[in-house]
Structure 1
């Protein structure tokens, strides 16, 4: 089993350490750049909602300003990610940071009307999919083997922490001066661009001119490779299923807090506690499981953690107080934090070079869409039924869904063969393999024959 997550294939592999991961200078630069961008993003979201509300006195427009940051993923995430596959990853990341920096400076200008702010925010967030796709495709070149899994755990945990820090800092600064918060966001993008430009090697894109086709066709190839290959499809089902229910307590926190508060906790505090619980649990789960469990143990834990994640939310049916709701949400976050970084690491290892950015776009867009759908659906149900009932029954359905995902989870030999096949394809070709590669190649029983077919 260790062979599936290690380039060296030792008989028994111990987990990589954070020292191993942060000992890589390129990863340190990439990690710091990402943290700066994430903090800046969330800081800007908080500040823009305040700025638009002040300018228009419209809650609807303020909410629209917040929602604008998600639109690029919904309407063009896979396409923009496919565009990133065509160019040097470092160049894509630097250019996207500089574009976002310039647009944030414009948003901060006091003469900007509300409609201009919404348009500029939308344009700035169009740079998110290609930037994040390039980062995802680049990371396996910086970290290999189990270092990749631990590095992903550190990165995703940092993203959750950045969300909390960014929202708190943005809300605090925006009350005094929203423009200052937006200029700080522009500064984070400038620093991120500098770290990427001077801290990362300039690698050639995996997709060469000779292997390009129509951009829409390349985007469709990203969907096909994710859903036609058994191991990648299984990972996608697991991650997407987790997104359907893990976001629900956070999305319904405001209504939940208003319905059920204790004498010692006001509504605002109850909402904050519930919303912060899942990210905190995610950070703890990602770091503990990523650092303390061996690679083989992490993979073995994925099916039971997948079932546990929705199961811990089923007691919501009993209408517990906000503190208990927060503990349940934290437990769910812990389980999801133990799943997603490992799934991400396995996913990128089972992908050949030339597909990683596009596949990232498919996964990221699916995650955004499913989170939005789940919150909208449960919110609509909560109009007719109590929130504890909705969350409890929604989570019970999640248990059934995760049991199916766990039962159909690929065997270790199948996972190992898929990783072997992806490595063979990456090593053998001068570009990405054809999109119609057989699903049987994912089973990888004959890597040599598969390699010959690619060349």
Structure 2
């Protein structure tokens, strides 16, 4: 990583970084290749495994369970599993989890495997997802900095959406011919990903020094206290989780929506595909366009309007438009989400102190998963009693009100800059060197010489402007031993 000065990290004005600049770093190219391979393989496997389980059991419920099992680790232990990634070098975590997933998904493809064992192996496979994604996300700011980080996040997020669409299509096609071959292909992508990381990403020390480690549950709780107890981090967490409540609904109800009266039997498959693919397609366009064309300072200012536009775009669905119109509205919603997510993510990354970024990723990722699941569950229950267009329209209208309340409380640019300055008070050092970070929270609750201080629950970053920047000089943040490089979360 070319380590910039603090001024480069916090600077938001000027021309946006180019894709050429983002891909100029060798490590990002390898990291991008690794995550793309994993995503494509994952989505192909998700489509294939549902077909495989259904063929074995003729049970729709078990087939759906095979698809849904990938969400369970985030719901029952996501933050705890991501905390593990903080304890070991990120490249080692990624390689290890890729190898574990390669072996387990390969076993799922073994002919004659009982369905109960297949589901168990799938669950064990997905347990490796949270630490892998946390390590990858925490590694991102080590290989991209400044506005290159924001553009890189937009590129990675858009690629994820593209991989989802392409992976599902390819997976469905491969599963029709040979679902086990599709699973073996997924195992091969994990193997290739591990090799790419091994030879393309240079080793770095773990973010959390061994002498600073506590009980795993306490370290996980510290991550929650940091995110929820710091004003700007809490604001970002609330924003991204709230917007997830509404953006996922058209995709989650697409199958039932396509079966609504007025859609012929022959058109239902196409209608469902259009609705499900619309939001990812809008995200791809928005992520690439806004990340590459819009100036960095303008992107920040657009967070507020995009947060309201995302649910507002879906309000007209209460008029019961045709599936193509629903798809167009969902695409606008996806575009708006792409306009705010990478920018909010970049602010989140830069405002986090050393040694907490993988854990903070777990908090955010789990919140998003829970929000999406709750949204689809509630709207699905309501759709059993009321027309789907009415449910989605009213749900989205409530979303407009909620997002308006969220953006009214959105921190000012000065508060974000002060929080970033606090997290990087000592400045960035070259990659692999020590980066001590001091925060106002530690200054107010622990003497500077107390080793190691407990993570406080504080409103340190809620103070404004120079007050934050000045008080942040007080004491070293818990976990910052002075022997390990700074880290960060790359994507949500």
Q: Do these two structures clear the TM 0.5 threshold for a shared fold by scoring above it?
A: yes
Q: How does 1:157-176 map to 2 (within 5 A)?
A: 157-176=158-177
Which residue in 2 is equivalent to 1:80?
81
The Cα shift of 1:24 comes to: 0.8
Normalised by the length of structure 1, the TM-score is 0.96
Q: How does 1:147-226 map to 2 (within 5 A)?
A: 147-226=148-227
Residue pairs, 1:105-184, within 5 angstroms: 105-184=106-185
Offset of residue 428 of structure 1: 2.5
Q: 2:448 matched to 1:447?
A: no
5+ residue gaps, structure 2, are: 428-434, 439-450, 478-492
For the residue of structure 2 that corresponds to 1:266, the secondary structure is: helix
Aligned residue in 2 for 1:100: 101
Q: Partner of 1:436 in structure 2?
A: 456
Do 1:100 and 1:186's aligned partners in 2 also have CA atoms closer than 8 Å?
yes
The structure-2 alpha-carbon separation of the partners of 1:446 and 1:393, relative to structure 1 and needing over 3 Å to count, comes to closer
Deviations 1:133-156 (A, max 9, x none): 001111111111111100000000
Q: Distance in 1 between matches of 2:119 and 2:337?
A: 33
Match of 2:17 in 1: 16
Residue 213 of structure 1 aligns to a residue whose secondary structure is coil
Name the structure 1 match of 2:38. Answer: 37
Please name the residue that 1:337 is paired with: 338
- Note closer, same or farther for the CA distance 1:10–1:334 as it changes in structure 2 (3 Å cut): closer
Matches within 5 A, 1:36-435: 36-262=37-263, 266-424=267-425, 427-429=435-437, 434-435=454-455
Q: How has the CA–CA distance of structure 1 residues 73 and 197 changed in structure 2, closer, same or farther, with 3 Å as cutoff? A: same
Q: Quick one: structure 1 residues 29 and 86, their matched pair in 2 at CA, closer, same or farther if it must change by over 3 Å?
A: same
Matches of 1:400 and 1:32 in 2, distance apart? 40
Deviation at 1:111, TM superposition (A): 2.0
Please say if residues 6 and 145 of structure 1, whose CA atoms lie closer than 8 Å, have aligned partners that are also in contact: no
The Cα shift of 1:449 comes to 3.9
Distance across 1 between alignment mates of 2:294 and 2:265: 39
**CA shift in 2, pair 1:285/1:325, >3 Å:** same
Cα RMSD of the aligned pairs, angstroms, is: 2.0
Distance in structure 2 (CA, Å) of the matches to 1:144 and 1:48: 38
| Structure-2 change in CA distance of 1:4 and 1:24 (3 Å) | closer
Structure 1 pair 402–197 and aligned structure 2 pair: CA distance change class (3 A): same
- What's the offset of the Cα at 1:13? 2.2
Instruction: Provide the TM-score with structure 2 as the length reference.
Output: 0.89
1: distance between equivalents of 2:230 and 2:194? 35
Q: Gapped runs of 5+ residues in structure 1?
A: none
Corresponding residue SS for 1:361: helix
Contact 2:104 2:125 in 1 (8 A): yes
CA distance in 2, matches of 1:420, 1:303: 23
- CA separation in 1, counterparts of 2:60 and 2:140? 40
Task: Provide the C-alpha distance between the structure 1 equivalents of 2:349 and 2:234, rounded to a whole number of angstroms.
Answer: 13
| Offset at residue 434 of structure 1 (A) | 4.1
Q: CA offsets per residue over residues 274-311 of structure 1, 9 Å max, x none? A: 00000000111111111111111000000001011101
1:103/1:124 contact within 8 Å kept: yes
CA distance in structure 2 between the partners assigned to 1:250 and 1:103 by the alignment: 29
